[in-house]
Amino acid sequence: MAEKASAVATLRTVGNWINGRHLESASTRFGRIFNPGTGEQCASVVMSTEADADAAVSAAKAAFEGWSNTPVLKRARVMFRLKELIERDIEKIAAVVTQEHGKVLHDAMGSVQRGLEVVEFACGIPHLLKGEYNDQVGVGIDTYSMRQPLGVCIGITPFNFPAMVPLWMFPLAIACGNTFVLKPSEKNPSCAMLWAELLQEAGLPDGVFNVLQGDHVAVNALLADERVAAASFVGSTPVAEHVYKTASANGKRVQALGGAKNHLVVMPDADMEKTADALVGSGYGSAGERCMAISVIVTVGDAAEPLLEKLLPKIRALKIGIGTDNSNDMGPLITAEHRDKVRAYIDLGEKEGATVVIDGRTHEITKSSGYFLGPTLLDNASRDMRVYQEEIFGPVLTLVRVATFDEAIDLINAHEYGNGTAIFTRDGDAARQFTHGIQVGMVGVNVPIPVPLAFHSFGGWKRSLFGASSIYGMEGVRFYTRLKTVTARWPTGILGGADFSMPTM
Ligand code: NAD
């Protein structure tokens, strides 16, 4: 992806935003940004150096004193203005998502909307930060608690939601009184600059929000910086684990959300028409590039045949094409390399003995210049196959047939990932047992993509989340603050003279 500056001189270059303005970098490394729908390069991005990371953290550190002491109501008002500005510009923001990610405009709009909901939640920060108070815990003694900001927080985000995932982080971090450095994906870095400009327009003081472009060099410099108090990461599991271990070893608070393999269990009593609709949307929406996409169908007993009867025509009817055409259901994959990786997984599945019922490799759309692959269905997969075990992150649904409900539960619980899962059934008892016993962080009952709304929290289990904290909602408020508890006694106690025994209240 990296190339010399001279080769991309005629294209727009996305740079850094530090201390309230575009700041030139001395870097000689640049990445190329492509429009995945056409395969054309649309911009380039600076690959920041360690000196750039230092400048970003310095700006955030310098802004912390003033911002953390800004009354919480004033911080909330910046969030209110940001909310209005996102509503004003939502179409423009979605268009940038579509240009650099490829997802269809209606889907891009939905993703901005889901991020906007976190800003709405952050507008309530005065209420969310209220502490607790106990009068008279001892004679003349009161105890109260407060939540205070941590300092400089960093956010490292993936390519698949360039607008939404940053919004999972910085609105709450900033509303809580922290300052922030965002390191977006180098594959689609432009949305981050929109957030910087809108926050400035909303009245946020310079230095409170900064954008550092680049790759692992920028990330590792941020993780090594002792002035950084906390790191939020969303991306693939190997990088999440690296970020978690490095940040923890360097004494930082860290939440690192990783990859997924989400199973949807189809019971024999499910409404097969609705289940098939849910599967095409959740399996192939955004070309399967969602961490909450369904990638494994688990049919129980004799559910497979009636399901396939409904599902196959719906998959074949999917309309695939460029994201700017809102009549399309599914767009391209992010890069040529990623499309080739997903295609190689289909080859692998065939070799491992799965049945390729619908083959995206031969879809008409693959002849176009964009990074397209048709929707694919692999039947008769089993737990020993790599196509079942590994995250593919593309428009590939894998079907595993099991005999019993218990087998379905065992299969999911044995998987290394535990991000999302769902059960489709009309039976309350099965649904109850499923939600109780399943080892997964986000669970749907007749809901295929159970992404919690902004006032709940988002996070998986097992190797889908490293660290104790989920993201946004009250977990987010707790992550971006630390608790201080004050026990206070006023002069009458002091006038009583010194006490040398252990205080027992
Ligand atoms: P990625 O892990 O390749 O990159 C994520 C971020 O980490 C980027 O900003 C990237 O520049 C940086 N990075 C990459 N390699 C690094 C390294 N060696 N050292 C330090 N930083 C590095 O992920 P991606 O391909 O951009 O996104 C797709 C992945 O993200 C999928 O696995 C998907 O499941 C996951 N994801 C998870 C969630 C969730 O909430 N759990 C949400 C969205 C995406």
Residue 3 has pLDDT above 50, yes or no: no
> Which residues are known to be catalytic?
291
> Whose C-alpha lies nearest to ligand 1, atom 11?
215
Q: Are residues 248 and 150 in the same domain?
A: yes
Q: How far apart are the first and last CA of the chain?
A: 64
Q: Are residues 292 and 373 in the same domain?
A: yes
CB 349 within 8 A of CB 388: no
pLDDT digits (tens, 9 = 90+) for 207-224: 999 999 999 999 999 999
HEC string of 398-462? EEEEECCHHHHHHHHHHCCEECEEEEECCCHHHHHHHHHHCCCCEEEECCCCCCCCCCCCECCEE
Mean pLDDT, residues 305-309 = 98
Q: Are residues 140 and 189 in the same domain?
A: yes
Q: Are residues 249 and 275 in the same domain?
A: no
Residue 4 has pLDDT above 50, yes or no: no
Q: Are residues 26 and 118 in the same domain?
A: yes
Q: What pTM, to 2 d.p., does this model score?
A: 0.95
Give me the sign of the Cα torsion angle 29, 220, 176, 149.
negative
In a domain, 2, yes or no: no
Angle ∠(251,254,260) on CA atoms, nearest 5: 145
Cβ 391 under 6 angstroms from ligand 1 = yes
Query: Which helix H or strand E contains 180, and what residues bound it?
Result: strand 179-183
Cβ 291 under 6 angstroms from ligand 1 = yes
Q: What is the structure's pLDDT at 261?
A: 98
CB 280 within 8 A of CB 318: yes
Q: Are residues 392 and 429 in the same domain?
A: yes
Angle ∠(460,36,319) on CA atoms, nearest 5: 80
Residue that finishes a domain, picked among 414, 445, 476 = 445
CB 268 within 8 A of CB 302: yes
Cβ 219 under 6 angstroms from ligand 1 = yes
In a domain, 451, yes or no: no
Q: Are residues 105 and 170 in the same domain?
A: yes
Q: Which residues of 250-289 are buried (b: 16+ CB within 10 A; e: fewer)?
A: eebbbbbbbbbbbbbbbbbebebeebbebbbbbbbbbbbb
* DSSP 8-state secondary structure symbol assigned to residue 131: -
How many domains does the chain divide into?
2
Token pair, residue 330, equals: 């599914």
Residue 6 has pLDDT above 70, yes or no: no
Closest atom of ligand 1 to 168 CA is: 40
Distance 216 CA to ligand 1 centre (A): 11
> What is the C-alpha to C-alpha distance for residues 25 and 34, in angstroms, rounded to an integer?
22
> Whose C-alpha lies nearest to ligand 1, atom 24?
158
Q: What is the structure's pLDDT at 491?
A: 72
Residue 8 has pLDDT above 60, yes or no: no
Residue 9 has pLDDT above 70, yes or no: no
Distance 258 CA to ligand 1 centre (A): 7
Q: Are residues 246 and 181 in the same domain?
A: yes
Q: What is the structure's pLDDT at 502?
A: 80
Q: Which residues contact 502 (CB under 8 A, 6 or more apart)?
A: none
Cβ 239 under 6 angstroms from ligand 1 = yes
Domain assignment of residue 22, given as a range: 10-258+464-485
> What is the C-alpha to C-alpha distance for residues 123 and 76, in angstroms, rounded to an integer?
5
For residue 13, CA distances in Å to 2, 112, 192, 227 come to 13, 24, 13, 29
